[in-house]
Amino acid sequence: MPRGRAGTTPRSGVLTLALTAVVALVVTGCGSGSGGGTAADCDTSRGTLVVGLVAPLTGELASVGLGMKNSADLAIKEANDRCAVPGYHLAIQSQDDRADPRTGAAAARTLAGDPSLIGVLGPFNSSVALEMQRVLADASIVEISPGTTAVQLTRGSNPVTAPLRQYQSFFRTVATDAVQGPAAAAYMAEQADRRRVAVVSDGKTYGEGIASEFGKQLATVGGTVVTRLQLPPEASPAAAVGAIARSRPDAVFYGGEYPGAGPLSRALGAAGVTAPVMGGDGIVNPGYVAAGGREGDLGTS
Ligand SMILES: *[C@@H]1O[C@H](CO)[C@@H](O)[C@H](O)[C@H]1NC(C)=O
């Protein structure tokens, strides 16, 4: 059984192989599966290698977290079935972060204490990743997230003026807000010809990040942020609607999730504001229309 941290053999060599197999499946979002059995004729004489998974397995985001877990379980099973890492059996250790940063950090510490750990998949939330990064980097454990979009995770807290990759062990398989926000701004100003945009965010890590990336890019493509507001998702949109209407926007960009965006869109329509609402992947959800989203609203994903 390997005892060293990354950089010593066999850990690092085996790591690449095993995680490549797992990530390929997590990324394509394969569905259900049961945990890893070993094909009878594989050589597993060198022991077991553990792949950790940290995801929201309970709570509001459980459907996302269980999707991640089922995908990883299936990938590990398939890797074991085809003897993907000669000499070793692969196993998954799943931990529930409940979409809570401190719970995620504690889960990372628990996993890092296992000498057979070769890498960690997850988490889903950027806020959780921010707390997990240091723990796993200190332990020289590679971490691959399929869901986090906050720019600072790989570019530091001043991503434009002083980009800094603080944690070499952190990787992700989704585009960051620095891609999605600007793409939305370019579309709005250049293709939809809607240049006066009211920008609203829910004030959370994801919403604030994508809203500010949108605003920065809008200015560079000839648009104007006519008002910039924070609207917590649980608050009534009424107050924001007045301010938005007075700013006479061509469009409203919402940084946040569909449960906040839908009611805002409905309230805007009720107040006679015809400007469409646009948002990122957080509003691209069938629940958006049910929550009040209007015909003509736009989303990027
Ligand atoms: C986790 O991510 C989801 C989906 O993006 C979001 O609704 C939720 O607010 C996030 N939670 C935290 C603690 O960041």
Residue nearest to atom 14 of ligand 1 (CA): 127
The pLDDT score that the predictor gives to residue 178 is: 85
How many angstroms separate the CA atoms of 39 and 86, rounded? 12
How many angstroms separate the CA atoms of 178 and 155, rounded? 10
Q: Indicate the SS3 state at residue 29.
A: coil
Residue nearest to atom 11 of ligand 1 (CA): 99
The pLDDT score that the predictor gives to residue 301 is: 85
If one residue of 58, 127, 153, 285 were mutated to test the ligand 1 pocket, choosing by the most ligand atoms within 8 A of its CB, it would be: 127
How many angstroms separate the CA atoms of 276 and 262, rounded? 11
**Stretch among 5-14, 17-26, 145-154, 164-173 having the lowest mean pLDDT:** 5-14
Distance from the alpha carbon of residue 79 to the mean position of ligand 1, in angstroms: 31
**Stretch among 76-90, 201-215, 258-272 having the lowest mean pLDDT:** 201-215
Show the domains of the chain with their CATH numbers. Answer: 12-172 (3.40.50.2300), 177-299 (3.40.50.2300)
* pLDDT of 11 higher than 90: no
Strand order of the β-sheet with 196-201 is 224-230, 196-201, 251-255, 277-279, 298-299
Give per-residue pLDDT as tens, 175-185: 888 888 899 99
End-to-end CA distance of the chain: 42
Distance from the alpha carbon of residue 185 to the mean position of ligand 1, in angstroms: 23
- The helix or strand, by DSSP H or E, that contains position 250, with its residue range, turns out to be none
* pLDDT of 1 higher than 60: no
**Stretch among 16-30, 77-91, 221-235 having the lowest mean pLDDT:** 16-30
